[in-house]
């Protein structure tokens, strides 16, 4: 989707992202910042929530899911140019997201092969869940997931969780043969792409000297998908863990899982609404208005 963001929106988001980058807590994984929409405060300044629950974006997702779905995660995936960081950021290893998740990949910079744009393997989304193996070069990759189990306080060791597509299971020539038939994204700042949840994809480090690669990733799941429980992210500003939550941004809580409608609701409000709806038989209205290891057939995505 060319020109997805207006010029003003692009300028505003760049400025906000620069602020996050500059103020990031030293213990938070640089490069992959999760679920800002859960913790940006106050509400009026929660630009990630506003973006992820924007009516125009929800309309796009509705075309895929119908009326009932949740805003599952927001991510900032940043690869600085080598003038800022000699490593140019890290790779995201070859993976599939899962069968169900819908992802909007919104560029705040022009992206191509020089600064870590996405690379996909066309046609392979029809092959189901591909076999995975432990990543062969985890030290070069983002750790893959910024999710923590309760009580865990340190970033998981690279390699402990990281899986990649098992190229050798499909190509006699291994990674090299697999990568021969791939397509590089070349997009402009303000463009947005959606990739099929089953398409294999990866991204490489930023090897440009001066071109940032800042992308906002928004993910959605159907409202009958299990509500996340007991998984945590680090707050970008103070590194304190907070529990991952999905928000019902459209339609009904079809399995009565107690979804909140926004980071500002509390459980009681939604529970009361659900109880009132159940009592009257009313159908609720939509609000209307937003790594690592892919787990295969569950539809859970890498990085959800
Ligand atoms: O933006 C990237 O480099 C990786 C994104 C990704 O893996 C995804 O959106 O599923």
> Would the pLDDT of 15 be above 90?
yes
Q: How far is the CA of 104 from the centre of ligand 1 (A)?
A: 10
Tell me, using a 6 A CB cutoff, whether residue 20 lines ligand 1.
no
> Would the pLDDT of 218 be above 90?
yes
Task: Tell me the percentage of the chain whose pLDDT exceeds 90.
Answer: 58
Task: Give tens-digit pLDDT for 239-278.
Answer: 888 889 999 999 999 999 999 999 988 654 555 555 655 5
Q: Lowest-confidence range among 22-26, 66-70, 276-280, 288-292?
A: 288-292
**Mutate-to-test residue for ligand 1 from 101, 125, 300, 302, highest number of ligand atoms within 8 A of CB:** 302
Tell me, using a 6 A CB cutoff, whether residue 92 lines ligand 1.
yes
> What average pLDDT does range 122-140 have in this prediction?
87
What pTM was computed for the model? 0.84
> What average pLDDT does range 25-41 have in this prediction?
89
Count of CB atoms within 10 A of residue 278's CB? 11
**pLDDT for residue 271:** 55
Q: How far is the CA of 217 from the centre of ligand 1 (A)?
A: 7
> Would the pLDDT of 199 be above 80?
yes
**Mutate-to-test residue for ligand 1 from 291, 292, 300, highest number of ligand atoms within 8 A of CB:** 291
Mean of per-residue pLDDT scores for the chain: 83
**Residue with CA nearest ligand 1 atom 10:** 97
Tell me, using a 6 A CB cutoff, whether residue 105 lines ligand 1.
yes
> Would the pLDDT of 151 be above 70?
no
> Would the pLDDT of 288 be above 50?
no
Tell me, using a 6 A CB cutoff, whether residue 118 lines ligand 1.
yes
């Amino acid at each position: 989707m060319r020109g997805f963001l207006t010029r003003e929106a692009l300028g505003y988001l760049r400025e906000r992202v620069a602020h996050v980058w500059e103020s990031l807590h030293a213990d938070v994984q640089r490069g992959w910042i999760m679920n800002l929409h859960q913790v940006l405060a106050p509400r009026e300044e929660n630009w990630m929530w506003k973006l992820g629950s924007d009516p125009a974006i929800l309309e796009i997702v509705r075309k895929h899911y119908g009326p009932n779905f949740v805003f599952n995660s927001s991510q900032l995936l940043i690869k600085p140019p080598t003038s800022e960081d000699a490593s140019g950021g890290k790779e995201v290893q070859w993976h599939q997201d899962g069968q169900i998740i819908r992802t909007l990949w919104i560029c705040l910079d022009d992206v191509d092969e020089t600064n870590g744009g996405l690379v996909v393997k066309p046609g392979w989304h029809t092959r189901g869940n591909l076999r995975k193996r432990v990543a062969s070069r985890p030290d070069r990759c983002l750790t893959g997931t910024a999710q923590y189990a309760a009580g865990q306080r340190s970033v998981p060791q690279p390699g402990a969780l990281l899986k990649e597509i098992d190229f050798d299971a499909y190509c006699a020539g291994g990674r090299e043969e697999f990568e021969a038939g791939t397509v590089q994204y070349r997009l402009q700042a303000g463009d947005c792409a959606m990739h099929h949840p089953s398409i294999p994809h990866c991204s490489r480090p930023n090897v440009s000297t001066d071109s940032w690669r800042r992308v906002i990733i928004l993910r959605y799941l159907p409202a009958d998908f299990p509500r996340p429980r007991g998984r945590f992210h680090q707050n970008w500003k103070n590194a304190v863990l907070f529990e991952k939550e999905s928000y019902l941004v459209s339609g009904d809580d079809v399995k009565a899982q107690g979804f909140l409608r926004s980071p500002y609701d509390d459980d009681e409000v939604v529970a009361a609404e659900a109880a009132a709806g159940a009592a009257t038989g009313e159908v609720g209205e939509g609000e209307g208005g937003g790594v690592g290891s892919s787990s295969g057939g569950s539809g859970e995505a890498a990085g959800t």
